Amino acid sequence: MSWWDDVFHRALVAAVLVGMLAALVGVQVVLRRLSFFTMAMSHATFPGVVAASIIGINIYLGGALAGLLVAIAVAALTRVRGQDAAAATGVILSAGFALGVGLVATQNGFSRDLSSFLVGSILTVSTGDLVVIAAVLGLVGLVSTLGARQLLFVGFDRVGAHAAGYRPGLVDLVLLVGIELVIVAVVPVVGTILTLALVVAPAAAGRAWSDRIGVITALAMFFGAVSGVAGLLVSSAYDVAAGASITLVATAILLLSLVGGGWLRPVLRRLRTGASAGPAATDPYR
């Protein structure tokens, strides 16, 4: 049997790829404060993958279609007079998750295969799943690199970005599609309930150590990969759910970063500003 044929070895590769992918898009989620919206998207993906599994079509397609419908529904509800984005997102979150649970209940008992979408099943990933995750990671990484300045500009100053010739609406759409692609790729591995933690925790941990987008992104992807591998090893050693272990490790890294970063960041900032002069020292694009 080759190295690749071992289930645990494939799970290790999946843990690294998923950790890096979730953390990469998580940087934008954290900086734009889209955590609640991301949670709604991940929960609303659940009925899509369940319906796809019942019908017999590709679960990635089902999840993507469900996420697209949710995004349209949220946008429509926010246009209703007297409604805000948070309220609309909350309603869609509950409705989408309830629909998924209802679909599962229509089967003969509570199907283990379908319920695995709630908490993930990293040990059952196939080569096809890894190809999809790697492809999404490459695509999101390419878009994040080429559109780094636009994403940052629009995220912090929409009016200024529009005046500079950018199209904030298009940038927001690209980001939304990117988040949905990541969720669809990650959900089969860590589940709808745990996806948000893996998206937000590594990025927030990276944010605790630096103000620079490049540094935050690199740290977030590193923390995401470490969370995946360490969580899987803990799961194997103590026979606990892999998705839960990965989430707990990511949370622990975040807590340690908040404590360590809060103490060390001022020291690093003073050293950096002392070694560099001028506005380039605080340029967030570097």
Tell me which H or E stretch contains 146: helix 127-146
- Residues 210-239: what's their mean pLDDT? 91
Using alpha carbons, select from 260, 147, 159, 166 the residue that is nearest to residue 213. 147
Q: In angstroms, rounded to a whole number, what is the distance separating the alpha carbons of residues 16 and 199? A: 13
- Per the CB < 8 A criterion, the answer to whether 243 and 227 are in contact is no
**Residue 223 DSSP symbol:** H
Q: Which amino acid is at 151?
A: L
- Dist CA 105 CA 84 (whole Å): 32
Is the pLDDT score of 85 beyond 80?
no
Residue range 229-276, pLDDT digits in tens: 999 999 888 888 888 889 899 999 999 998 887 677 676 667 767 655
Chain-centroid distance of CA 52 in Å reads: 22
87: which DSSP letter?
Answer: H
The pLDDT value given to residue 286: 47
> Of residues 177 and 230, which shows the higher confidence score?
230
Question: Which pLDDT does position 276 carry in this prediction?
Answer: 55
Give the lowest-confidence range in 147-151, 204-208, 216-220, 231-235: 147-151
Helix and strand totals (H; E) in the chain: 11, 0
- CA–CA gap between residue 151 and residue 25 (Å, rounded): 11
What pTM value is reported for the model?
0.81
Q: How far apart are CA 144 and CA 5, in angstroms?
A: 33
Provide the token pair at 24: 């990469």
Q: Are 24 and 140 in contact (CB under 8 A)?
A: yes
Q: How far is CA 191 from the centre of its chain?
A: 12
Q: Distance between CA 263 and CA 278 in Å, rounded? A: 25
Distance CA 227, CA 22 (A): 11
- In the structure encoding, which two tokens stand for residue 68, read together? 């697209």
What is the DSSP-derived secondary structure letter of residue 108?
S
Are 186 and 15 within 8 A, CB to CB? no
What's the pLDDT tens digit per position in 15-57?
999 999 999 999 999 988 888 778 877 777 778 877 887 787 7
**DSSP run (H or E) holding 79:** none
Report the distance separating Cα 40 and Cα 109, nearest Å: 26
Quote the strand ranges of 71-201, DSSP E: none
Radius of gyration of the chain (CA): 20
CA-based nearest residue to 26, from 283, 218, 203: 203
Q: Which amino acid appears at position 59 of this protein? A: I
Cα 205 to chain centroid, rounded? 14
Mean pLDDT over the full length of the chain = 80
